[in-house]
Chain A
Amino acid sequence: MGSMLEVDNIDVFYGEFQALFHLSLEVKAGETVIVVGPNGAGKTTLLRSISGLQPPSKGSIKFLEQPIHRLPAHRIVELGLAHVPEGGRVFPNLSVMENLKIGSYVKEARREFQKTLEEIYELFPRLAERKSQLADTLSGGERQMLAIARSLMSKPKLIMLDEPSSGLAPMIVTMLFEFVARIRSQGYAILMVEQNVRKALALSDRAYLVESGKIALEGSREEFSQESYIRKAYLGL
């Protein structure tokens, strides 16, 4: 299958500070790709530069053959690339339903809002139960689910998840990964940054290791999990 997302040699700066160095990465259609690495390695920055929040100063990013590295964030979503930022960032003073509705803000998604909403409620029955509650009143796990569901409302082709399991209780983490697996089985391409390497690797096709703003290692799930460095440093084997 063809390449869906191509990140080619990007440099990203925060003012004077360089966060990413000639980084390249690829996601093919239907693939689940994970990005792991220590804190501060630049994983979040990588997702932010792809979605247009922190554009690269050098290099190019293509989504479905189209260059997107000069587009503002709100235009990139329209192309079918959704970004669930760290911590989910649901809109606290909007209800669950309103959060989902705003997820379908892009034109093509708006027309199918009702239909998508029903699908989402079927996938996340918990959200249907709480549809009129303010997002602020949800638990951490529910918020993360709402954030993922909200991104699905935009009818994306690729979903980027930034540490969806961060700060959640182990039982909730297991549930969350089941949801990600379910989304994956529906054919969405996923690019996920995760700290929980073992669980993330289990549902991935390929993986990248980012260290100090550079790709330190990449490979298929099998190659990656057999790498002795990964086994020692990230899987504790």
Chain B
Amino acid sequence: MEILFLNALANGILLGGVLALLAFGLNLIFGVVKVIHLAYGQCVMLGMYVIYTLKAIYGVPLILASTVAVLVMGVWGTLLHLLVIRPLLGAERLNQLLALAGLIIVFENLAHVIWGADLRGLRVDLPVVSLGNIFLKTSNLLAFAGALVVLGILYVVLHRTYVGLAIRAVAQDRECASLMGINPGRIYLLTLTIGGALTGLIAAFFSPIYSVHPHFGGSFTLMAFIIVVLGGMGNLAGGFIGAFIIGVVTSLAAVITSTEVAEIVALAIFILVVLVRPQGLLGARRAR
């Protein structure tokens, strides 16, 4: 039993790394553009199909297929901004939410039409690593390490470069940022492009682990959303911590009970946070 727990804990932490990257994308988009990208997990799903198509059907090497997926999903994010989000920037919050929720249906059915309902998986045989009694899949380890490296790079970009500072400035005070010479429209476009490219990257990390199907994205959108709320909406550090909490909790709950119950536990945490601490663990300080 103890070994089971330790394994669940270790795998929960590994999952937390990738979830942190997913939550980061959702958080960044919310923090900067102030819209909740409800179809974020669905973009990961599309990215996985891109990789699947290239690798399984055209025999493109996985690394190259993943690179293409990052680029394609980046462009996808750009288009999403230009065609859906930008025209709705001045609209009511509710209309923005409905439009983005509508995209869930569009993306899922698009996948249905193109790839069908079957599970599509890559046959990637990677060895299992053992640390004493803990067994970890190399694919999970790679995804974890990759996600942390990317998060590190994003952190440095956000804190050390002009463009990163501009993104943070726009998130805090859009109008005042424009008085600094920053074009907020361009920062929005850039944010959605980065957010899109991240879904491609997450797809690359997920592809060797999971098989994809048209409804694959739903639970990940939900997870990311729970994490973002748990950490405090728009608070990137909060999201990082939240991802590991959710990763470990769901992983442990799945071992004790079942995967279905794990999702219930995650949602129960979500409801509890909204009731007790709606500003989240680290409560995003309000930019005026």
Q: Is the CB of A53 within 8 A of B165?
A: no
- Bound-state CA distance A103–B182 (Å) is 10
Stretch at the interface among A31-39, A91-99, A178-186, A205-213: A91-99
Are A72's CB and B178's CB within 8 A? Answer: yes
Q: What is the number of residues of chain A that contact chain B, defined by CB distance less than 8 Å? A: 26
Which of chain A's residues have a CB closer than 8 A to the CB of B162? Answer: 101-102, 105, 110
A89 / chain B contacts, CB cutoff of 8 Å: 173, 176, 288
**Chain A residues with CB below 8 A from B288, complex form:** 89, 92
Q: Chain A contacts of B172 at CB under 8 A?
A: 91-94
Cα of A91 to Cα of B180 in the assembled complex, Å: 11
Interface residues in A101-117 by Cβ distance below 8 A to B read: 101-103, 105-106, 110
- Residue A78 lies at the interface, judged by CB distance under 8 Å to chain B: yes
Contact of B179 among A53, A94, A136 (CB under 8 A): A53
B166 touches A102 (CB 8 A): yes
Whether B178 contacts A91 by the Cβ 8 Å rule is no
Indicate whether B259 reaches chain A with its CB closer than 8 angstroms.
no
Asked if A56 is at the interface (CB within 8 A of a chain B CB), the reply is no
A102-136: contact bitstring with B at CB < 8 Å (1 yes, 0 no)?
A: 11011000100000000000000000000000001
Q: Are B175 and A53 in contact (CB under 8 A)?
A: yes
Question: Which residues of the other chain, B, contact A103 by a CB distance below 8 angstroms?
Answer: 180
Contact A77 B181, beta carbon cutoff 8 Å: yes
Which chain B residues border A93 with CB–CB below 8 Å?
168, 172, 285, 287
Q: How large is the interface on B (under 10, 10 to 19, 20 to 34, 35 or more residues)?
A: 20 to 34
Nearest-neighbour CB distance to chain B for A153, whole angstroms, equals 9
- 26 A-B residue pairs with Cβ-Cβ distance under 8 Å, sorted by A, are A53-B178, A53-B179, A73-B178, A73-B179, A74-B179, A74-B181, A78-B181, A85-B175, A85-B176, A85-B179, A89-B176, A89-B288, A91-B176, A91-B177, A91-B287, A93-B168, A94-B165, A94-B168, A94-B169, A98-B168, A102-B166, A102-B177, A102-B182, A105-B166, A106-B181, A154-B181
Give the CA-CA distance A93 to B169 in the complex, in Å: 9
User: Are B165 and A101 closer than 8 Å at their CB atoms?
Assistant: yes
Q: Is A165 an interface residue (CB 8 A)?
A: no
Counting chain A CB atoms within 10 Å of each CB, the highest count among B162, B169, B177 belongs to B169
Contacting residues of chain A (123-156) with chain B, CB-CB under 8 angstroms? 136, 150, 154
> B183 contacts the other chain (Cβ, under 8 Å)?
yes
Interface flag for A69 (CB, 8 Å): no
Which B residues contact A (CB, under 8 angstroms)? 159, 162, 165-166, 168-169, 172-173, 175-184, 285, 287-288
List 16 additional contacts besides A98-B165, A102-B162, A154-B180; criterion CB under 8 Å. Answer: A53-B178, A74-B178, A74-B179, A77-B181, A89-B176, A89-B288, A91-B172, A91-B173, A92-B288, A102-B165, A102-B177, A102-B180, A105-B165, A105-B166, A105-B181, A150-B180
Question: In the complex, which of the residues B165, B169, B179, B285 contacts A77, with contact meaning CB atoms closer than 8 Å?
Answer: B179
Determine how close the nearest CB of chain A comes to the CB of B233; give it in whole angstroms: 14
Q: Is the CB of B169 within 8 A of A102?
A: yes
Q: Is the interface of B mostly helix, strand, loop or mixed?
A: helix
- A-to-B contact residues, CB < 8 Å: 51-53, 72-74, 77-78, 82-83, 85, 89, 91-94, 98, 101-103, 105-106, 110, 136, 150, 154
A-B pairs, top 4 by smallest CB distance, nearest first, are A106-B181, A77-B181, A73-B178, A89-B176
Q: By the criterion CB–CB under 8 Å, are A83 and B179 in contact?
A: yes
Q: Nearest Cβ distance between residue B161 and chain A, in whole angstroms?
A: 10
| A96, chain B: closest CB distance, angstroms | 13
Taking the closest CB of chain B, its distance from the CB of A149, in whole angstroms, is 13
List of B residues within 8 angstroms of A83 by Cβ: 179
Residues of B contacting A150 with CB < 8 Å?
Answer: 180
Cα-based distance from A101 to B179 in the complex (angstroms): 14
A52 contacts across to B, CB distance below 8 A:
178
Which B residues lie within 8 Å of A101 (CB)?
Answer: 162, 165
Task: Please report the C-alpha to C-alpha distance between residue A89 and residue B169 in the assembled complex, in whole angstroms.
Answer: 11
- A91: chain B residues at CB < 8 Å are 168-169, 172-173, 176-177, 287
Contact: A51 with B179, CB < 8 Å? yes
Which residues from chain A contact B179 at a C-beta distance below 8 Å? 51, 53, 73-74, 77, 82-83, 85
* A72 proximity list for chain B (CB < 8 A): 178, 183
Identify the closest chain A residue to B234 (Cβ): A93
Cβ contact within 8 Å between B285 and A92: yes
